[in-house]
Amino acid sequence: MKKSEKVLLGVFAFLFLAIIGGGGFMYAFNNYTSIREENDTLRDRLADMNLAISQGADWADKYGWLEEHCPNFTSRQEASAKLLEVITAEAEKKGISIGGKEFIEAARVLGPDGLPLEENLGYFDKATVKITLAGIQEQAFFGWLHALQQPQSFLGITRMQINPSGTNKTINAEVEFTQFYREKSAPKVSKAN
């Protein structure tokens, strides 16, 4: 073998080892960084799990309170009727006459299988009633809204539109009230032996 061939062979061997060694080094470095990232992710997940375990008693108390206080109705129609009853009773107390009443059907997005998508279901069921009022006093109107919207009743105002009627601080309003509840199954009727 000539000296120039030996030099070329040496250069080729050096380049070959540099390329293979560099590729191996990059492969090892990429694996090392991915393992490090996975360790960080697992460490964060473990911290979240430990936090959730330490707060378990608090969440159990919150769940117990929710089970005790959340209204239960057998259907949306029953919840809507009860909601309308509460709204009209409070309006009578405040001397407000309700112009129009309309039950609002909740829009459900259906999936490809024809069933409601799970992310749209949520934890609570809800019934909504739209009330239209004309020419009522502002003070009575806001007192009525304040009396109705109480956290412990799971009843809230989800949409409101107010327009001044032009005389004596009276307004025209359109308000949507929503009753959040949990749907319970109707009791089964059975024969007594």
The residues that bridge with 157 in the sheet, in sequence order, are: 177
| 82 shares a domain with 146 | yes
| 6 shares a domain with 86 | no
Phi, psi of 6 (to 5 degrees): -65, -40
The CATH number covering residue 82 comes to 3.30.70.60
**For helices 56-69 and 3-54, angle between their N-to-C axes, nearest 10 degrees:** 50
The two beta strands, 125-137 and 170-183, are: antiparallel
Amino acid code (one letter) for 187: P
| 159 shares a domain with 106 | yes
What is the distance in angstroms between the CA of the first residue and the CA of the last residue of the chain? Answer: 109
Question: pLDDT of the chain along its 193 residues, tens only?
Answer: 788 888 888 888 888 888 888 888 999 999 999 999 999 999 999 999 999 899 989 989 988 888 888 899 998 899 999 999 999 999 999 888 888 888 888 766 677 777 766 655 567 888 999 999 998 988 999 999 999 988 788 999 999 999 988 778 889 999 999 999 988 765 556 666 5
Tokens describing residue 61: 């108390």
In a domain, 66, yes or no: no
| 47 shares a domain with 129 | no
CA-CA distance, 126 to 149, in Å (whole number)? 15
| 37 shares a domain with 77 | no
In a domain, 102, yes or no: yes
pTM: 0.62
In a domain, 60, yes or no: no
Q: Could you give the residue ranges of the DSSP H alpha helices within 70-192?
A: 76-94, 138-148
| 179 shares a domain with 87 | yes
What pLDDT is stored for residue 159 in this prediction? 93
| 92 shares a domain with 50 | no
CA-CA distance, 163 to 171, in Å (whole number)? 6
| 109 shares a domain with 157 | yes
> To the nearest whole percent, how much of the chain has pLDDT over 90?
42
Phi, psi of 130 (to 5 degrees): -100, 125
In a domain, 92, yes or no: yes
What domain range is 23 assigned to?
1-54
| 160 shares a domain with 75 | yes
| 136 shares a domain with 177 | yes
Number of structural domains in the chain = 2
| 31 shares a domain with 87 | no
Neighbours of 65 (CB within 10 A): 11
CA-CA distance, 36 to 43, in Å (whole number)? 10
Tokens describing residue 113: 């299988």
